Structure 1
C-alpha cells in the first residue's frame, strides 16, 4: 500500500507521510491527527472505534500475522471491543514479533487458509476467529461474541459444533467444547448473552426472547423467560433509562403483570454480584415472597 493511500484517507504511518513529503513533523502535531499506535495516525474525523485501532496496528504487523480473536470478531458481527482495548493479534509461532504495547500478541499455529484480507487489513477467518475467541476470552465474553457472529450469519451453529468435534488434540479444545453448547443467536445484546450463560452455568434453563401471550394476544417479548413459572428476566441497559423509554418500559411491565407474569429487572450493578442475583432468581422460581 502506498503512503498516499495510507494518508488519504484515514490511517497512515507518520514516518512514511513525512518521508514522502505529505506532512512535516510540525504539521503532524498541529493538525490534531489521532495517534492510534506509536508512529501510526488517523484522520481525526474518522469514528474512533476498535476497528480503527485495529487498522493502526495492522500497519505494523509482522509478515504472516493477523488481527484475530475478540478484535477480529468486530468484522463478523460482534463489535464489542472498546476503542481503547488492546488489539488481539495472532502471529505464526516462528515469527518472533512482540508488537506495540497496544497489541496483545499470541504466537500460534496459523494455517494458510486462516487469514483473509478485509479492507486492506489481514483478519482471521470467521471460523478461526470463533476458535480463538473461545480459547482466549472468558467464557461469558466468548459466548456473547459467538451469539452475535451466528446471528449475523458469519458462522453457523453446525460449523461450531463440527469444529469442536474435530478439534481433538488442539490447544484450547476443552474451552471450545464448553462454550459451543452455550451459544444461542437469539440474544439481542452482549449483556443478555452473559446473563443467560451465568444462569445456564448455575443449572437454570431460561428461554431467550420469549413471546408472552395472554388469551391469545401478544403481550411482550422478554429477554429471558421461565414460562412454567411465568417469570421474566429483563436486562436493562443504559437506553432503558432515557426519558422517552422509561414510560414505555413501565407500560410494558404493567401489561406483563396484568397477564400474570412476574418480572426481575437486571442492571449492570446486579451483574457485579452474581451470587445475590442468582439467589433472587431462584427464590422467585420457588415462589418465595418478596423475591421480585
Structure 2
C-alpha cells in the first residue's frame, strides 16, 4: 500500500514506480512542486537551496550546482526561491534539464566539485569564478563580498584565481569583478549600490564610523567622509515597529553632527543610475 504521506524531496515518477505514492495522491495532495517532475513535503521551507536539492535528484554524473545557486552553500544565500537553478556541465555531458534550470557548459574538474547536503556543488573558488563570469557585475560582487566576509574564500584566493585564468572564457569579467570585491559590505543591496558608485568613479567608504570629538555617533553603510555624506540602505525591517523610531533618532544624531544622509530602499535598486545621479548632485559634481 502507498504511504500516507511522503516527506523530504522526491522525483514523482520514481515514487509512483516504487509504490510509495499513487498518481492520484501525487496529484491531489499538497506536495510542493520544486521543478518539473520533482516534489517536496510542503512542511519544508521553500528557499533556493531546497530547489537545488530537487534539481540534484535529476543531475547526471559529472555535473554540479554552480554559480549563484552554489553560492547559497558558501555564505551568499541571495538567490530567491523562484530563481532559476544554475547547473554547470562539461561538454561531454549532454543534458538540458527542466525549464527551471539554467545550464552553463564549461570544463568541470573533480576538484571543482564538493558535496553539501547530498548535493554536488561547485567549490567556493569555482563558484566565485562562475558568479563573476555569468552574473551581472553588481550581483556577482555582492555574492563574492559575502563569501569573503564569511571566510569561504579569501581575497588572495580571488587574486590567484583571476591571475591564473588567462585564456579562460569570462576572464575579463572575472578580473573586473575581483577588483571590486570588498568584504566590509554587510548586505547584498549595499554591495550593489557601492559597485554602481565605484563604476561611476565615485569611491565611498563602506561601514564608516562617524565620530565627533572622538565620540561614536553612528556607523553608516557607505560614506564620503570629506563631504560628510552618508548613504544608507534600509531593508524591510527598517519600516516596522520600534526600528522606525530608532532610525529617526539615529538620523537626527547624524544631522546634528553635520552629516547629510541619502536613504535608499528596495525600489531604488531598480534605478541605480538614478542613485548615482543623486549622489553626484549631493557631492556637487
Which TM-score band applies after superposition, normalised by the shorter structure?
over 0.9
Name the structure 2 match of 1:15: 13
Runs of 4+ in 1 over 4 A off after TM superposition: none
**Per-residue CA shift, 1:101-137, capped at 9, x if unaligned?**
1110111111121111111111111110100010000
Deviates more, 1:192-201 or 1:264-273: 264-273
> Could you list the runs of 5+ residues in structure 1 that have no partner in the other structure?
none
Deviates more, 1:239-248 or 1:193-202: 239-248
Cα offset, 1:275, TM superposition: 3.3
- Cα separation, 2, equivalents of 1:163 and 1:79: 22
Name the structure 1 match of 2:33: 35
Name the structure 2 match of 1:106: 104
Is it true that 1:142 corresponds to 2:128 in the alignment? no
Equivalent of 1:73 in 71, 74, 80:
71
- Cα separation, 2, equivalents of 1:9 and 1:34: 11
Is it true that 1:238 corresponds to 2:236 in the alignment? yes
User: What secondary structure, in the 3-state scheme, does the structure 2 residue paired with 1:140 have?
Assistant: helix
**Per-residue CA shift, 1:239-282, capped at 9, x if unaligned?**
11113211111000000111111111122333333333222212
- Cα separation, 2, equivalents of 1:112 and 1:271: 38
Name the structure 1 match of 2:189: 191
Name the structure 2 match of 1:219: 217
Is it true that 1:59 corresponds to 2:50 in the alignment? no
Alignment RMSD, CA only? Answer: 1.5
Name the structure 2 match of 1:170: 168
**Per-residue CA shift, 1:167-213, capped at 9, x if unaligned?**
11111100011000100111111110000000000101100001111
**Per-residue CA shift, 1:4-51, capped at 9, x if unaligned?**
9xx964101112222222211122223311111222111100000001
- Cα separation, 2, equivalents of 1:74 and 1:23: 31
* TM-score under structure 1 length normalisation: 0.93
- Cα separation, 2, equivalents of 1:260 and 1:226: 13
- Cα separation, 2, equivalents of 1:276 and 1:53: 34
Cα offset, 1:283, TM superposition: 2.2
Name the structure 1 match of 2:272: 274
> Could you list the runs of 5+ residues in structure 2 that have no partner in the other structure?
none
Name the structure 2 match of 1:127: 125
**Per-residue CA shift, 1:145-167, capped at 9, x if unaligned?**
00111111100111001110111
User: What secondary structure, in the 3-state scheme, does the structure 2 residue paired with 1:209 have?
Assistant: strand
* TM-score under structure 2 length normalisation: 0.95
Equivalent of 2:255 in 251, 257, 266:
257
Cα offset, 1:87, TM superposition: 0.3
- Cα separation, 1, equivalents of 2:270 and 2:150: 29
- Cα separation, 2, equivalents of 1:277 and 1:65: 40
User: What secondary structure, in the 3-state scheme, does the structure 2 residue paired with 1:279 have?
Assistant: helix
